[in-house]
Amino acid sequence: MGKRITYYVSRKNLLTWLAAILMIASAGLRIAYYCEKGADTTTMWFLILLPVAASLIYAATLLLDGQEHFYRTAVPVALMALYFTIHLAMRGMGVRYLVLNAVVYLAFVVFYKLLTSGIIRPVSVVFLMFAGAVAVLGYDSRAALLSRQWERYFEIMPDFTMLLGALAVSLAIRPHLDGAYHPTWGDRSDGRRVRTLSPMSVVVPYIMVNRNGSCNFIRDELEITDLEQYVREKRREGLTNFGLTHVFITAYVRCVARYPALNRFLSGQRVYSRGDDIQYCMSVKKEMSTESPDTCIKLHLKPTDTVYDVYRKFIEEVEKVKNTPLDSSFDQTARLFTMLPGLLFKFTVWLLKTLDYFGLLPKFLLEVSPFHGSVFFTSMGSLGIPAIVHHLYDFGNLPVFIAFGCKFRRNEVASDGTVLKKKYVDMTFNLDERICDGFYYATVLKYLRRLLADPHRLDTPPERVEKDID
């Protein structure tokens, strides 16, 4: 990664504000002109609402989202091109001239999209494109400009201010130079699209559509003699209630640091990467009783987190849920949905799935949803039962479910013939095979075993954090 250039406009740049003011002025002048003149239905939709929407969307994108999502200005630019094409058609232009202009506008939009997405480098061409558009508009409006009639000036001013606003934007565009990844077309708010997958990895999600039908299940056992000693050490250091859960979570985070494909997810038949945001989900009870309701927590972890970081974040989130008289964000959101009638509730779930498929689910819902995340851990040890085989959720995008059970002892014969009592814990892994292949998963699990065999490695950050492919 890092070869692709992304661009932005800063709200600290006066040109950005000038562009937004000109766009808003264009919308205001257009509405004022047609309020005085009057308009039929066709004019209302295509010569008023369409360009006004384009101008206001452009201004809002610049001021609210220009730093990270400047490429989205391609949408209002496409609306502007559509408006100018329709405007020419309604003026009774010849078919050949209209088709020629439509082709030019289409090429303009495509080129603008490629430039703002960083696919084509010389962003200065955007200035030449809008400068040319202003010149063409001036040439087409030369009769009005020379008429010295205020009414004719008033008629062409909305178009001029719109294009001048875009021209100001072209002077405010700057490339990101921080070396970090910045979103572009095809990315989601919770992950970037992985674009250099093998053809097989691209095809498989269209064949294996559902998450539960695409999962692999692995059962394993882990000898925990050294781990229990490590847990006791941490408790002596003052980490109250430190347990195997904190060790397993940190070990998983360390696996992501070395094998970043583990932090991918699949949505809308496409594979995405969460990058450095490892979203750990877990179901907890406020009290250990059958009457106590379940709730869910979500931690945002980093590949560089140590066992101390994980313990602190985990304890803070659990205490927040257990010690507050109020319900968690997940509970509050779920309660709102349960108030809907059954048929409307079913439609709402379908709508949420559809929005999620296209990456349009609101970010606050992604944050409270336990079905969207990197990994879900569940501990059966506190319940005194073995690790369960838990399903994956077809709603959402969570690709990994890990369960571990209660501790058990086993007598084993050593090489010298003596009988040793060893303590184990069983674990189950349910893995969505579409985010990475079986060989990758096998390598990760072997690395996980090596980490848990020497848990002191988790006390310090990893020497290196690998980045996922483009």
CB 219 within 8 A of CB 303: no
Q: Crossing angle, helix 438-453 and helix 244-258, to 10 degrees?
A: 130
pLDDT at 332 over 80: no
- The residues pairing with 218 across neighbouring beta strands, listed in sequence order, are 429
Strands 270-273 and 278-285: unpaired
Considering only CA atoms, which of 311, 315, 321 is closest in space to residue 246? 311
- Rounded-to-integer distance, Cα 411 and Cα 420, Å: 6
| Residue 67's pLDDT band (cuts 50, 70, 90) | very high
pLDDT digits (tens, 9 = 90+) for 302-328: 999 999 999 999 999 888 877 665 556
Where do the structural domains in the chain lie, given as residue ranges?
Answer: 7-175, 192-459
Give percent above pLDDT 90 in the chain: 64
| Residue 36's pLDDT band (cuts 50, 70, 90) | confident
| pTM of the full structure | 0.86
- Rounded-to-integer distance, Cα 170 and Cα 22, Å: 13
- Rounded-to-integer distance, Cα 81 and Cα 129, Å: 12
- Rounded-to-integer distance, Cα 403 and Cα 376, Å: 8
Per CATH, the homologous superfamily of domain 192-459 is Chloramphenicol acetyltransferase-like domain (3.30.559.10)
- Rounded-to-integer distance, Cα 135 and Cα 155, Å: 17
Write down the pLDDT at residue 221.
92
Type of residue found at 111: F
Write down the pLDDT at residue 38.
79
- The residues pairing with 221 across neighbouring beta strands, listed in sequence order, are 426
pLDDT at 375 over 90: yes
Write down the pLDDT at residue 2.
47
- The residues pairing with 222 across neighbouring beta strands, listed in sequence order, are 425
pLDDT digits (tens, 9 = 90+) for 80-106: 999 999 998 988 778 888 898 899 999
Pick the range with the lowest mean pLDDT from 179-183, 240-244, 429-433, 462-466: 179-183
